[in-house]
């Protein structure tokens, strides 16, 4: 089995989509075949980081879930979207930005089992080394099913009491579901926070390793989700920290 990575957080806006896109970019630069799926069907967005506007999403995960379109046909090759040569490839499976499609999810829900079947199919059809799943915040049925089929879970949290509490719940559930590797990523850390001290505290609290502590970065904020930071700024200190997260996942690819 190839590596399937769920990127999750209990609360919204923690940095899931940016972390997912940056890790995808780094792994593809290193020669991996990477899939990125926007499983945040209620509030999609990761397509922006790969240079795709919502209006330009012509085939989406919704077409697979509701309209029977083969999932392999939905994947869009966005390898060249950053203007940087990559040895590997990046395939994006976006979610629809059409209001009717989004409200249908809210009204009718969808077959979460079909989604997990589609994810496995995608890995095989595109011969992926790794599939990164950008999830909707909070715990719901599709998150639980994505955890069941994942070998790696990245839980993103900000150093904030509300995030700490929610992260405890996600970590407990993931352990009960026996996700083989669970890593925490502390994001948006203010500059006065000592990364080593945060790492110790968080690892003790949740019993999971911290893959990285990312500082709040004005440079990242300025890019404003218009690209993959690590590919645009390969020498930036934040890119070095994203690489640490990618190398944890890379280790799982070789072990899988
Ligand atoms: N380390 C950081 N420093 C500064 N800004 C950041 C950092 N990480 C992410 N951001 C910014 O925070 C915002 C939210 O990031 P992102 O969209 O990746 O989070 P998310 O968890 O996917 O959100 P949602 O739950 O809404 O899907 C974006 O504007 C992004 O540019
Ligand atoms: Mg997101």
Ligand nearest to the CA of 236: 1
Quick check: helix, strand or coil at residue 28?
helix
Task: Give yes or no for a contact between 122 and 114, defined as CB atoms under 8 angstroms apart.
Answer: no
Strand ranges in the chain using DSSP code E only, listed in sequence order = 3-8, 33-38, 76-77, 89-93, 130-134, 152-157, 181-189, 210-215
The 10s digit of each residue's pLDDT in 47-93 is: 999 999 999 999 999 999 999 999 999 999 999 999 999 999 999 99
The DSSP string of 106-161 is HHH---HHHHHHHHHHHHHHTT-SEEEEEPPSS--HHHHHHHHT-SEEEEEE-SSH
The percent of residues in the chain predicted with pLDDT above 90, rounded, is: 88
Q: How confident is the model at residue 108 (pLDDT cuts 50, 70, 90)?
A: confident
247 ligand 1 Cβ < 6 A:
no
How many Å lie between the centroid of ligand 2 and the Cα of residue 135?
7
Substitution candidate for ligand 1 out of 7, 8, 18, 239 with most atoms within 8 A of CB? 18
How many Å lie between the centroid of ligand 2 and the Cα of residue 134?
7
The percent of residues in the chain predicted with pLDDT above 70, rounded, is: 98
What confidence score (pLDDT) does residue 142 get?
80
Quick check: helix, strand or coil at residue 32?
coil
Which residue in 4, 93, 112 sits closest to 44, CA to CA?
A: 93
Instruction: Report the C-alpha gap between 130 and 147 in whole angstroms.
Output: 15
Substitution candidate for ligand 1 out of 43, 166, 221 with most atoms within 8 A of CB? 221
How many Å lie between the centroid of ligand 2 and the Cα of residue 127?
25
Q: How confident is the model at residue 254 (pLDDT cuts 50, 70, 90)?
A: low
What confidence score (pLDDT) does residue 252 get?
82
Ligand nearest to the CA of 11: 1
Residue nearest to atom 19 of ligand 1 (CA): 15
Is the pTM for the entire model greater than 0.85?
A: yes
| Chain centroid, CA 240 distance in Å | 18
User: What is the arithmetic mean of pLDDT over 183-196?
Assistant: 97
The 10s digit of each residue's pLDDT in 4-41 is: 999 999 999 999 999 999 999 999 999 999 999 999 99
Beta bridge partners of 37: 93, 133
């Amino acid at each position: 089995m190839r590596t399937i990575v769920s990127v999750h957080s209990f609360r919204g806006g923690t940095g899931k989509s940016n972390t997912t896109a940056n890790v995808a970019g780094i792994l593809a630069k290193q020669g991996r075949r990477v899939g990125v799926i926007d499983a945040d069907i209620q509030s999609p967005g990761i397509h922006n980081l790969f240079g795709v506007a919502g209006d330009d999403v012509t085939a989406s995960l919704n077409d697979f879930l509701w309209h029977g379109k083969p999932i392999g046909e939905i994947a869009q090759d966005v390898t060249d979207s950053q203007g940087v040569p990559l040895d590997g490839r990046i395939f994006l499976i976006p979610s629809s930005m059409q209001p009717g499609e989004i409200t249908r999810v809210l009204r009718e829900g969808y077959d979460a089992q079909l989604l997990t079947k589609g994810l496995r199919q995608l890995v095989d059809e595109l011969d992926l080394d790794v599939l990164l799943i950008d999830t909707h915040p909070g715990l719901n049925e599709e998150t639980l099913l994505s955890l069941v089929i994942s070998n790696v879970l990245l839980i993103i949290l900000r150093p904030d009491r509300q995030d700490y509490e929610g992260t405890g719940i996600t970590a407990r559930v993931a352990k009960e579901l026996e996700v083989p590797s669970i890593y925490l990523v502390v994001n948006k850390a203010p500059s006065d926070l000592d990364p080593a001290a945060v790492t110790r505290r968080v690892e003790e609290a949740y019993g999971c390793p911290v893959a990285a502590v990312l500082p709040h970065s004005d440079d990242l904020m300025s890019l404003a989700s218009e690209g993959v930071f690590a590919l645009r700024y390969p020498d930036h200190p934040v890119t070095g920290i994203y690489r640490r997260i990618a190398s944890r996942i890379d280790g799982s690819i070789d072990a899988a």
